[in-house]
Amino acid sequence: MTNDNSPHPAVRCRAVFKSFGAGPTRTDVLKGADLNAGPGELTFVVGPSGCGKTTLLSIIAGILTPDHGTVDILGTSLTSLTGSGCSIFRGQNIGFILQQFNLLPALDVVENVAIPLLVLGQTKHQAHNRARTSLERVGLSEHWRKYPRELSIGQQQRVAIARAVVHQPRLILCDEPTSALDAETGAMVIEQIRDCALTNKCAVLFVTHDLRITRPGDRIWEVQDGQIRAYANSQQGRAA
């Protein structure tokens, strides 16, 4: 049974299984997980550490391959792509916002944000212009030439958001990006991520163990016993 009836989801996972190890050390992480996420929506996936949230995100990103099941992203079946084809698809269509900001300390803020555009073949001039525009959108227009070490933790996370959306991806994957932030900064970061989803009509899939931050979400799913269910205490869960 699927957990959404949207006819054109940005993310569609069906009966996804994933295990690690073999024999007595085998661990079944995902056991027939279903998930849909729609364009322009902020979708939360919640659950405790070790429940399989990051595994699910890695499968949706095409970094891990499911043992069984289908994964369609933006109308493309990931299982139909080769390794290099999957990497190209990921670079063109998916942005990542992670717990670790992964900013390069030797590069200034503009140079860090421009990296996805340079990888896609844009000139340095084009990439830097778009990077500055992306930084303006997250309120960092006055910090273009600073280095990561000169910024606060919250500012570094906003740089990571600017980098994730600079190439206008159709899907943004977030893996606990607010866990190192205080409550006020974390709430601001989530609102900025949500604004990006609404402005660009992209889907945002946000995994977290912290239910307190899920209030702005359009839908909330829970990973439980290797499957995905509507979160029971959410309005969505009561209506499902």
Average pLDDT of adjacent 10-residue blocks, the chain of 240 residues: 56 96 92 93 90 94 94 92 89 90 95 95 96 91 93 92 92 89 84 82 91 87 91 47
pLDDT confidence of residue 233: 53
pLDDT confidence of residue 238: 32
Examine residue 141 and state whether it is found in any structural domain, yes or no. Answer: yes
Which residues form the domain of 109?
38-62+83-220
Examine residue 22 and state whether it is found in any structural domain, yes or no. Answer: no
Examine residue 31 and state whether it is found in any structural domain, yes or no. Answer: no
Examine residue 48 and state whether it is found in any structural domain, yes or no. Answer: yes
Examine residue 202 and state whether it is found in any structural domain, yes or no. Answer: yes
pLDDT confidence of residue 179: 83
Burial of 98 (0-12, 13-18, 19+ CB in 10 A): middle
Rg of the chain, C-alpha, whole Å: 18
CATH of the domain at 161: 3.40.50.300
User: What ranges make up the beta strands (E) of 99-231?
Assistant: 171-175, 203-208, 219-224, 227-230
- For the entire predicted model, the pTM comes to 0.87
Examine residue 237 and state whether it is found in any structural domain, yes or no. Answer: no
pLDDT confidence of residue 1: 34
Examine residue 171 and state whether it is found in any structural domain, yes or no. Answer: yes
Count of domains observed in the chain: 1
pLDDT confidence of residue 189: 84
Examine residue 238 and state whether it is found in any structural domain, yes or no. Answer: no
